[in-house]
């Protein structure tokens, strides 16, 4: 038994150390000398060693790391972590404001919350009753990776929320970054140890968080900045500005460079000022984020398939550099597109060494008059993809040569054609190895069929040795086929065959995305899967059927229809099905037929028969939607024990209120 006095002392020490961590790491205003902090910490360590039952998940002693993991577990997000649409100039910011006011039906200026856009790794931290229970990467926005043990080691991630007023449940979202000075120091250490230096602070931060050995993460100089939440239960917040103040009070670092403005003019000025001071920040930022401040207005504005309507990212002008074009090559992609690529003398652009850059298409090469041997200005578009901006003709010597697009594919020798009305030439070779290799890599990628172990070099061998002439051949590979390959032992072969076997039952949305249909990304693949429910129905859908799917326009519908009308594609799919591939149908019912389709629920107070998450899952499984705030568009407010102000607001707006028994009866009726 632990004496009550020691139990109370351990709790006091935890709270004291959390408080002083907050003063030191978040506020940069320590109250006590390092020696006094060390004394408190040692006392807590000794207590927990003497009485292990005193250890708690939020104890500051738990930041040291955990035994290495074999792999990260998937971590679904209860509320999707959507991407933001980009504004590349001030005109696009003003267009965003016009769209917001038009949607809200107002001519009045909108209040915006403005903040820097951190260039790091987006993560989500889940707290129950003030204690950190999970940390996850953003992933594809719907499902990330569980990296809790690593995020616990980041000093600016609170293990427990400060203050007496904390929510029952909150998903705190933000960015893990590495300060620029710390990044350079880490790279010097990497080089001294004979290790490869990191390309930039963002890569260093992402690589550090995704270490299977959390003790490595613990040694990395990482910081976390909060910028929003997903779920928030047990607390009412009216504005984003108030939310950020709450986050700061709970112990999170939030940007001190935030600003609230009335109208878009102030937001534009904020972006100008921040970009001009970009290099003064101690960490990398690549733009500003502008958000509608009122959370109820955010709820009204809602979201599209990939991004909220109430926020936009203003992107800074990308970093540029000058280098020389050594050659221009024709590169063949997985759809057969033949793209001119500049081979460059290596140069550092924004901390990344660039040796190749896209030239987009032959018309673009001609328009910019890019020649082999030219000195050119390059930039990283969106600070990521290298591209050639312009040539420097004043530096020409006369030895430069113009680029001529080849008539035949440099990989398979088939004829290159340029379809009428398109800017990009395409290889006509149906069995072109370059296309096949790229298609297989895409098909096996993590966000598609997720076939672990099927890397680039192995794909090259499979195609070059004739073991895989079509994606469907993957599902007929045996251990005997794989063992003779280079760097492929029996265990590796067995693991790969097992990974391929697991992929046979991936869900329909992943399978559709894996097929590599032009213009069909993850969000569109998910929408198609939910609308049609089965592969057979999707394959037989007409363009008219496809156009009825939200966010599917004429270009996407035409591309999907053309893909499934191609006999070779249907034959490949037939062979996959014959080999045991059975894409799993969506778990949610088709929206138009769901019993609660179009119905919006809000919960307030504690439910006795189930948790809030379980109630939300029950509603969504029947096609309904759960939101966090009450508006005139809310269909039902479900009231449990000790309800908050949402119940009163529902009465004021005339929104139907359900008791817990009435809610359960509604679920029973809807379930049939």
Q: Which residues contact 286 (CB under 8 A, 6 or more apart)?
A: 117, 119, 315, 316, 382, 383
Q: How many helices (H) and strands (E) does the chain have?
A: 24, 24
Alpha helices in 362-420 (DSSP H): 362-368
Residue 159 to residues 22, 28, 163: CA-CA distances in angstroms? 11, 18, 13
269 and 150 assigned to the same domain: yes
Q: The domain spanning residue 379 has which CATH number?
A: 2.40.50.140
SS3 state of residue 233: strand
In a domain, 416, yes or no: no
By mean pLDDT, which of 157-166, 192-201, 306-315, 654-663 is the weakest?
A: 192-201
Residue 415 lies in a domain: no
Using the structure block, give the residue that is written with the tokens 């394959």. Answer: 539
The answer, yes or no, to whether residue 588 has pLDDT greater than 70, is: no
Q: Are 443 and 436 in contact (CB under 8 A)?
A: no
- Residues 266, 132, single domain; the answer is yes
- Range among 255-264, 405-414, 623-632 rated most confident: 255-264
Element (H, E) at 636: strand 636-639
CA 282 and chain centroid, separation: 24
The count of structural domains within the chain is 6
What pairs with residue 291 in β-bridges? 113, 311
- Report, in this order, helix, strand and coil percent for the chain, each rounded to 5: 40, 20, 40
Residue 428 is assigned to a structural domain of this protein: no
Q: What is the dihedral of CA 113, 115, 119, 123, to 10 degrees?
A: -50
User: Residue 644: its pLDDT value, please?
Assistant: 72
Where is pLDDT greater, at 306 or 48? 48
Over residues 535-573, the pLDDT tens digits come to: 999 999 998 899 988 668 888 898 899 888 888 788 889
Per-chain mean pLDDT for the chain: 87
pLDDT at 157: 94
- Residue 17 sits in a domain whose CATH number is 1.10.287.610
> Are 45 and 98 members of one domain?
no
Could you give the 3-state DSSP secondary structure of residue 308?
Answer: strand
Confidence of residue 412 (pLDDT cuts 50, 70, 90): confident
Per the CB < 8 A criterion, the answer to whether 388 and 378 are in contact is: yes
Q: What are phi and psi of 113, to 5 degrees?
A: -105, 125
**Cα(535)–Cα(456) distance, integer angstroms:** 28
Q: Which of 94-108, 506-520, 577-591 has the lowest mean pLDDT?
A: 577-591
The verdict on residue 212 lying in a domain is yes
Count of beta carbons in the 10 Å neighbourhood of residue 349: 20
Q: How many CB atoms lie within 10 A of CB 304?
A: 12
Q: Per-residue pLDDT tens for 269-314?
A: 999 999 988 888 889 898 999 999 999 999 999 987 678 999 999 9
Closest CA to 522 of 449, 572, 464: 449
The share of the chain scoring above pLDDT 90, in percent, equals 43
Q: What is the pLDDT of residue 590?
A: 47
pLDDT in tens, 96-112: 999 999 999 999 999 99
Q: Do residue 94 and residue 33 come from a single domain?
A: no
Q: Residue 523: which pLDDT band, with cuts at 50, 70 and 90?
A: confident
CB-CB contact of 345 with 374 (8 Å): no
Say how many Å lie between the first and final Cα of the chain, rounded: 52
Q: Are residues 387 and 468 in the same domain?
A: no
How many Cα atoms within 13 Å fall on the side-chain side of residue 238? Answer: 3
Query: Which residues belong to the active site?
Result: 117
Q: Got the DSSP string for 109-161?
A: PPEEEEEEEE-SEEEEEEEETTEEEEEEE-TTSSEEEB-HHHHTT-TTS-SB-
Quick one: pLDDT at residue 474?
A: 95
614 in the same domain as 660: yes
Question: What CATH code is carried by the domain that includes residue 493?
Answer: 1.10.150.20
What is the average pLDDT across 433-456? 88
Q: Are 605 and 647 in contact (CB under 8 A)?
A: yes
Residues 628, 428: Cα–Cα separation, whole Å: 52
Task: Looking at the structure, tell me whether residues 286 and 334 fall in a common domain.
Answer: no
Q: Do both 453 and 333 map to the same domain?
A: no
- High-pLDDT (> 70) share of the chain, %: 94
- Of the listed ranges 463-467, 508-512, 568-572, 621-625, the least confidently predicted one is 621-625
Residue 333 is predicted with a pLDDT of 81
Q: What's the pLDDT band for 60 if we cut at 50, 70, 90?
A: confident
Q: Considering the domain boundaries, does residue 552 fall inside one? A: yes
pLDDT band at 431 (very low <50, low <70, confident <90, very high): low
- Domain boundary residue among 445, 469, 503? 503
133 and 279 housed in the same domain: yes
92 plus 169 within the same structural domain: yes
For residues 97 and 156, membership in a common domain is answered with yes
In angstroms, the CA 44 to CA 18 distance is 12
Same domain, 141 and 239: yes
- Is 425 part of a structural domain of the chain? no
pLDDT at 612: 76
pLDDT of 633 over the 90 cut: no
- Let me know: does 528 contact 305? Beta carbons within 8 Å: no
Domain termination residue (choose one: 315, 347, 363):
315
Q: Which of 298, 315, 332 is the last residue of a domain?
A: 315
Q: From 204, 217, 201, 82, select the one nearest 147 (Cα to Cα).
A: 217
**Mean pLDDT to the nearest integer, 34-57:** 80
Q: What does the pLDDT look like over 392-409, one tens digit per residue?
A: 999 999 999 999 999 998
Q: Which residues contact 635 (CB under 8 A, 6 or more apart)?
A: 599, 600, 601, 655, 656
pLDDT in tens, 239-269: 999 999 999 999 999 999 999 999 999 999 9
Token readout for 649 is 């607001």
Domain enclosing residue 330, as ranges? 320-406
143 vs 33 pLDDT, higher one: 143
What's this model's pTM, rounded to 2 decimal places? Answer: 0.55
Confidence of residue 591 (pLDDT cuts 50, 70, 90): very low
What distance in Å separates the CA atoms of residue 555 and residue 561, rounded to the nearest whole number? 10
In a domain, 563, yes or no: yes
Task: Answer whether residue 349 is part of any domain.
Answer: yes
- CATH code of the domain covering residue 647: 3.40.50.10190
In this predicted model, what pLDDT tens digit does every residue of 117-139 receive, in sequence order? Answer: 998 999 999 999 999 999 999 88
Give the model's pLDDT for residue 582: 94
Sheet of strand 600-604: strand arrangement = 625-626, 600-604, 636-639, 657-659
């Amino acid at each position: 038994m632990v004496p009550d006095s020691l139990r109370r002392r351990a709790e006091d020490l935890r709270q004291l150390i959390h408080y002083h961590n907050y003063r030191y790491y978040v506020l940069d205003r320590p109250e006590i000398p390092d020696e006094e902090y060390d004394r408190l910490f040692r006392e807590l360590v000794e207590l927990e060693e003497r009485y292990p039952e005193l250890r708690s998940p939020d104890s500051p002693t738990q930041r040291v790391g955990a035994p290495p993991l074999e792999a990260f577990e998937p971590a679904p997000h209860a509320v999707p972590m959507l991407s933001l649409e980009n504004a590349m100039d001030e005109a696009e910011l003003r267009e965003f404001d016009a769209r917001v006011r038009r949607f809200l039906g107002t001519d009045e200026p909108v209040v915006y919350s403005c903040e820097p856009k951190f260039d790091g790794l987006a993560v989500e931290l889940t707290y129950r009753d003030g204690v950190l229970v999970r940390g996850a990467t953003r992933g594809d926005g719907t499902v990330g990776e569980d990296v809790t043990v690593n995020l616990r080691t980041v000093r600016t991630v609170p293990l427990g929320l400060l203050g007496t007023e904390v929510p029952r449940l909150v998903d705190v979202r933000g960015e893990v970054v590495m300060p620029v000075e710390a990044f350079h120091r880490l790279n010097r250490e990497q080089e001294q140890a004979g290790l490869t230096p990191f390309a930039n602070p963002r890569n260093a931060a992402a690589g550090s968080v995704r270490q299977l050995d959390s003790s490595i993460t613990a040694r990395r100089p990482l910081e976390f900045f909060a910028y929003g939440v997903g779920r928030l239960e047990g607390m009412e917040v009216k504005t984003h500005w108030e939310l950020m103040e709450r986050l700061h009070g709970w112990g999170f670092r939030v940007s001190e460079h935030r600003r609230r403005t009335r109208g878009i003019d102030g937001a534009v000025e904020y972006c100008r000022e921040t970009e001009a001071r970009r290099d003064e920040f101690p960490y990398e930022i690549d733009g500003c984020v502008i958000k509608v401040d009122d959370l109820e207005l955010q709820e009204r504005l809602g979201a599209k398939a990939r991004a909220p309507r109430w926020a936009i990212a203003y992107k800074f002008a990308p970093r540029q550099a000058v280098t020389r074009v050594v050659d221009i090559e024709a590169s063949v992609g997985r759809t057969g597109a033949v793209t001119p690529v500049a081979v460059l003398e290596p140069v550092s652009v924004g901390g990344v060494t660039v040796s190749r850059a896209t030239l987009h298409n032959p018309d673009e090469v001609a328009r910019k008059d890019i020649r082999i041997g030219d000195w050119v200005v390059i930039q990283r578009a969106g600070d990521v993809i290298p591209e050639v901006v312009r040539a420097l003709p004043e530096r020409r010597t006369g030895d430069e040569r113009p680029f001529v697009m080849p008539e035949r594919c440099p990989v398979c020798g088939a004829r290159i054609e340029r379809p009428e009305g398109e800017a990009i030439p395409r290889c006509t070779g149906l069995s072109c190895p370059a296309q096949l290799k790229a298609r297989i890599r895409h098909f096996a990628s993590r966000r598609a069929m997720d076939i672990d172990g099927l890397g680039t070099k192995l794909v090259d061998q499979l195609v070059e040795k004739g073991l895989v002439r079509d994606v469907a051949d993957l599902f007929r590979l045996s251990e005997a086929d794989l063992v003779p390959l280079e760097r492929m032992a029996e265990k590796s072969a067995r693991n790969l065959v097992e990974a391929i076997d697991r992929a046979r039952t991936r869900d329909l949305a992943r399978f559709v995305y894996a097929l590599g249909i032009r213009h069909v990304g993850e969000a569109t693949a998910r929408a198609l899967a939910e609308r049609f429910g089965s592969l057979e129905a999707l394959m037989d859908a007409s363009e008219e059927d496809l156009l009825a799917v939200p966010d599917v326009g004429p270009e996407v519908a035409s591309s999907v229809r053309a893909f499934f009308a191609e006999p070779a594609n249907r034959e490949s799919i037939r062979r996959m099905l014959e080999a045991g591939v059975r894409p799993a149908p969506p778990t949610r019912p088709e929206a138009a037929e769901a019993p609660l389709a179009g119905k919006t629920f809000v919960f307030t107070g504690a439910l006795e028969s189930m948790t809030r998450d379980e109630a939300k899952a029950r509603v969504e499984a029947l096609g309904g939607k759960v939101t966090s705030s009450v508006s005139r568009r809310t269909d039902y407010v479900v009231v449990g024990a000790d309800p908050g102000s949402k119940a009163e607001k529902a009465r004021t707006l005339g929104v139907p209120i359900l008791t817990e028994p009435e809610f359960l009866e509604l679920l029973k009726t809807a379930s049939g």
